[in-house]
Amino acid sequence: MTDPVNPIHQHLSITVCDGAADAIAKGFNWADDASVHPIEVERVIVVRGGMESGRASVDFVLRDGTGKRFVFMVTRALLQSIPG
């Protein structure tokens, strides 16, 4: 019996690289990609009991060079769903 496809893999592109050289060979050389801009992690917020299940979530607040702010959340379930 095979495992069902994790729903997150249906909309999240995941690439696993064996090392820096492999990442560059696959086209992930950010230093040479003018369309990718640096962003700073401004703050990390751990929210104990942040999920309906009672488990924690981690929110990352980011800021780009223009001052625009972004946020993304990471959960253990998200991290565990990434192969590799």
The answer to whether residue 28 is domain-embedded is: yes
Domain around 42: 7-81
Assess if residue 22 is contained within a domain: yes
Percent of the chain residues past pLDDT 70, beyond the cut: 85
Question: Which tokens hold the place of 43?
Answer: 């703050």
Query: Does residue 63 form part of some domain?
Result: yes
Structural domain includes residue 1 = no
Instruction: Please report whether residue 38 resides in a domain.
Output: yes
Whether 15 maps to a domain, the answer reads yes
Tell me, rounded to whole angstroms, the distance of Cα 75 from its chain centroid: 10
Q: Is residue 45 part of a domain?
A: yes
- For the record, the structure tokens of 45 come out as 């917020």
Kindly state the helix (H) or strand (E) to which residue 30 belongs, with its residue range.
Answer: none
Q: Which residue has the higher pLDDT, 69 or 76?
A: 69
Residue 33 counted as domain residue = yes
Total number of domains in the chain: 1
More confident call, 81 vs 15: 15
pLDDT at 25: 95
**Cβ atoms of 3 and 71 closer than 8 Å:** no
CA distances from 27 to 32, 34, 48, 54, 75 (A): 10, 13, 37, 39, 27
> For 21-31, what is each residue's pLDDT tens digit?
999 999 999 88
